[in-house]
Amino acid sequence: MTGGRRAISALVLAPGAGASSDHSALVAIDRALAPKGVRVVRIDFPYRVAGRRVPDRQGVLVSTVEAAARQLASDMRLSQERVALGGRSMGGRMCSIAVAQGLPAAALVLVSYPLHPPGKPERLRVEHFSAITVPCLFVSGTRDPFGTPAELEEATAAVAGPVSHVFCDNGDHGLRRRDEEVAAIVSDWVLTLEA
């Protein structure tokens, strides 16, 4: 840091569609940031809490993120602008939609962002990108079938806020056995982002 005030005091993390808040990557990020004074809250979506496999509708998922972010800011007596949002795959995407729809946030941390369904690059999930004005970190594998590095860089040019990319060599969408690497990337970025 160069002496400025750290932008992020807390982070809400949401899991991918087939995972829970105990996903190993989310736990690793939590463990990396907690000793550095950044409070991390890992959330579960209602369908997971109810034991269902099929994700809730987008509106429910986004509302869950919004409620968690507001609760965390309230619990810590923080301005909403000091709370970052993010997560893996679908969870990160829902956080990005919440911010695009007006939820104040310090930043977005998007691990394995699902740019498009595998094999369907024409079905981009980016219509909200231009409404995102906060700093964004995208961490993806170079072999992610949900979006190549080139596709992700091209698509994220529409984001109005500053964008950082880190690509994990030979990583797939799950970034299996890369939890500590991902956690270090996220931690370094979060801790150096200044208000």
Mean pLDDT of 147-155: 97
The structural domains of the chain, ordered by start, are 10-192 (3.40.50.1820)
Contact 136, 108 (CB under 8 A): yes
For position 107, what pLDDT does the model report?
97
171 pLDDT more than 90: yes
pLDDT over 60 (residue 3): no
Residue 6's pLDDT band (boundaries 50, 70, 90)?
confident
- Which pLDDT band, with edges at 50, 70 and 90, does 150 fall under? very high
This prediction has a pTM of 0.95
pLDDT at 157: 97
Averaged pLDDT score across all residues of the chain: 95
Question: What is the number of other CB atoms lying within 10 angstroms of the CB of residue 32?
Answer: 22
Instruction: Identify which of 143, 145, 142, 113 has the alpha carbon closest to the alpha carbon of residue 129.
Output: 113
Q: What is the DSSP letter of 57?
A: P
